[in-house]
């Protein structure tokens, strides 16, 4: 059964490598893994969401959840954007994991009206951070394109997918509260 087929499917054990070079076991025998698929290095909307995860990272860890975030950018592009994140970030420029997990790209990622307020908020926040020198902007033509859709999976230590979400637009993902509720089940 493929991972994209549903809750209860099993993720084959593998060791990914974070952009820092650290090994990242998925599944993790000690913790639940919250495997997030994001878009490209410097994506303003992805950054907005990941800031909410960073703010509550200690609470997420205390719930027995390990964050693993995948981007479809090369590691070299990601490094300048993710060095301050307290969790594993994995580069998947060939989108092998994206295909395996059934994660799509589609123009609706940006065209969906529910995404527009968050896109505006993200562009304003990132624009200010870039102008003030706190962040670098994304590439003009990001590796893998701009139309990625988010997806996320909560994976048990034995590889069983406990919960999953495929986003309908660029800012359609679990909140930290939703993640914590899934982890508590």
Peptide bond into 100 cis (omega under 30): no
Note the residue count of the chain: 185
Contact 169, 16 (CB under 8 A): no
Which of the four CATH numbers 3.30.565.10, 3.90.1200.10, 3.30.70.100, 3.40.30.10 does domain 3-184 have?
3.40.30.10
pLDDT surpasses 50 at 1: no
Hey, is 55 helix, strand or coil? helix
pLDDT tens digits, 137-185: 656 666 666 677 899 999 999 999 999 999 988 788 999 999 999 999 8
Q: Is 44 helix (H, G, I), strand (E, B) or coil?
A: helix
**Domains of the chain, residue spans:** 3-184
Q: Cis (ω within 30 of 0) for the bond into 18? A: no
Task: Answer whether residue 28 shows pLDDT above 90.
Answer: yes
Beta strands in 18-141 (DSSP E): 23-26, 32-37, 65-71, 88-91
How many Å apart are CA 61 and CA 161, to the nearest integer? 19
Q: What is the mean pLDDT of residues 107-114?
A: 66
């Amino acid at each position: 059964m493929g991972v994209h087929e549903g809750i209860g499917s099993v993720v084959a054990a593998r060791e990914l490598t974070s952009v820092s070079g650290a090994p990242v076991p998925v599944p993790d025998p000690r913790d639940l893994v919250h495997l997030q698929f994001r878009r490209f290095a410097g994506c303003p909307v992805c950054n907005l969401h990941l800031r909410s995860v960073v703010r509550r990272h200690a609470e997420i860890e205390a719930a027995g959840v390990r964050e693993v975030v995948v981007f479809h950018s090369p590691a070299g592009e990601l490094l300048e954007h993710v060095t301050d994140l307290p969790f594993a970030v994995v580069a998947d420029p060939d989108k092998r994991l994206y295909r395996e997990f059934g994660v799509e790209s589609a123009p609706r990622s940006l065209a969906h009206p529910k995404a527009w307020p968050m896109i505006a908020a993200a562009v304003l926040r990132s624009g200010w951070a870039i102008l003030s020198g706190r962040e670098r902007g994304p590439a003009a033509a990001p590796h893998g394109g701009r139309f990625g859709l988010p997806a996320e999976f909560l994976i048990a230590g034995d590889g069983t997918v406990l919960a999953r979400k495929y986003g309908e637009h660029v800012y359609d993902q679990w909140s930290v509260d939703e993640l914590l509720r899934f982890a508590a089940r």
